[in-house]
Amino acid sequence: MSTPWATILMFLAASFLGAVGQFLYKAGADRATGGVVAYLVEPMLLGGVACYVAVMVLFVAAFKRGGSPAVLYPVYATTFVWSSLIGAHWFGESIRPVNVAGMLMLLVGIALMGVKS
């Protein structure tokens, strides 16, 4: 079964939105003070929830177009790369050479998962 490029791009967009959702959860948790109600009304946390809803919508729409989960879920793993880049930019987290090596290995692995035997 061939996986359409549009489906792959939808999963790539979902991976980016998943990383943005993680960023919003972290930033929202840092800003929220108080109890559970503070979490329920914190705009950044609500934005994170919206991102994850969008991820699920993209998953459903992508699978409707067709494609192999063996190809698509590794594409979603790029969330880890996006999260690292967002963390470095917004939270000043360092990305060391070993982290870059891991990201490159992840990307090579994703490419290899899409190779037909």
Residue 32 DSSP SS3: coil
Q: Phi and psi for 88 in degrees, rounded to 5?
A: -65, -40
Residue 72 token pair: 């698509």
Q: What is the torsional sign of CA 80, 84, 87, 90?
A: negative
pLDDT of residue 117: 52
- pTM, full prediction: 0.86
Q: What are the residue boundaries of the structural domains of the chain, listed by start?
A: 5-113
The string of pLDDT tens digits covering residues 24-53 is 999 999 888 888 888 889 999 999 999 999
**Residues 87 and 93 sit within 8 Å (Cβ to Cβ):** yes
The string of pLDDT tens digits covering residues 87-102 is 999 889 999 999 999 9
